[in-house]
């Protein structure tokens, strides 16, 4: 059983994917982390995220980088969004995601193109979305708790820029699979969003 969870940044897809993995007893891969690791490696190499060659070279990042707390930074998220437009980078990360998805027993993967590219045969596909205001507000509270000095307007701007890049790129743009179940979490609390996702997946199986 493969469960694909796609959606934009701060939509709640990570929280939902983690909860689904626990509920159904499946391993979980946050594929955004792989793109973040590439973005971070470009930075460490002093390369340019918009350059296809630099970005491709950075896909050779060491596994230890996946544990780097800097992967969660907003700067790294921006770099991830930039390296992810290169088809060669997406291709280089494909096999790793594909073998995770097809492991015996099944898996939960969250990202942007799981239901469309990585595992189009997934038994359950969710597309998690929320208004840019709701997502910015959540991200703002999260960052305030971590003591990061940032304004709501800055976060909203950054989210809009990233959404635009993710939706308009030529390869694997952020769009719901035709057979995805869309869950809008704008007006839902954490537990409500998780309950809605568990119900949707249960119905799909
Ligand atoms: O989900 P997260 O914010 O960690 O992803 C960081 C960036 O990586 C996204 O903005 C997106 O551009 C890219 N990404 C992608 N395909 C995925 C996962 C992430 O293009 N499957």
pLDDT at position 86 over 90: yes
Compute CA distances 125 → 28, 48, 202, whole Å.
14, 34, 11
SS3 annotation, the chain:
CEEEEECCCCCCHHHHHHHHHHHHCCCEEECHHHHHHHHHHHHHHCCCCCCHHHHHHHHHCCHHHHHCHHHHCHHHHHHHHHHCCCHHHHHHHHHHHHHHHCCCCCEEEEECCHHHHHCCCCCEEEEEECCHHHHHHHHHHHHHHCCCCCCHHHHHHHHHHHHHHHHHCCCCCCCCCCCCEEEECCCCCHHHHHHHHHHHHHHHC
CATH topology of domain 1-27+106-205: Rossmann fold (3.40.50)
Residues 6+ apart with CB under 8 A from 53: none
pLDDT digit string, tens, across residues 94-124: 999 999 999 999 999 999 999 999 999 999 9
Q: Which two tokens stand for residue 33?
A: 């982390």
Residue with the nearest Cα to atom 12 of ligand 1? 81
pLDDT at position 23 over 90: yes
- Ligand 1 pocket test, pick from 112, 114, 118, 159 with the greatest ligand atom count within 8 Å of Cβ, gives 112
- The reply to whether 202 sits in an annotated binding site is no
pLDDT digit string, tens, across residues 169-192: 888 888 899 999 999 999 999 999
pLDDT digit string, tens, across residues 127-162: 999 999 999 999 999 889 989 899 999 999 999 998
Residues with CB under 6 A from ligand 1: 9, 31-32, 35-36, 77, 80-81, 84, 111-113, 162, 166
Q: Say how many Å lie between the CA of residue 204 and the centre of ligand 1.
A: 25
- For the chain, domain boundaries: 1-27+106-205, 28-102
For residues 8-26, give the mean pLDDT.
96
């Amino acid at each position: 059983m493969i469960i694909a969870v796609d959606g934009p940044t701060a939509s709640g897809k990570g929280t939902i994917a983690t909860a689904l993995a626990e509920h159904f007893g499946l391993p979980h891969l946050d594929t955004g982390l792989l793109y973040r690791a590439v973005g971070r490696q470009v930075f460490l190499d002093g390369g340019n995220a918009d350059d296809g060659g630099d970005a491709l070279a950075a896909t050779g990042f060491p596994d230890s980088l996946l544990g780097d707390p800097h992967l969660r930074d907003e700067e790294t998220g921006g770099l991830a969004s930039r390296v992810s437009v290169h088809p060669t980078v997406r291709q280089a990360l494909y096999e790793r995601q594909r073998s995770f998805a097809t492991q015996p027993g099944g898996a939960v993967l969250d990202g942007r193109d799981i239901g469309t590219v990585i595992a189009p045969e997934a038994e359950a596909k969710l597309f998690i979305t929320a208004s840019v205001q709701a997502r910015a507000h959540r991200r703002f509270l999260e960052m305030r708790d971590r003591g990061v000095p940032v304004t709501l307007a800055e976060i909203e701007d950054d989210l809009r820029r990233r959404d635009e890049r993710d939706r308009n790129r030529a390869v694997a743009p952020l769009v719901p699979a035709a057979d995805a179940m869309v869950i809008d979490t704008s007006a839902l609390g954490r537990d409500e969003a998780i309950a809605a996702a568990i119900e949707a997946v249960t119905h799909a199986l």
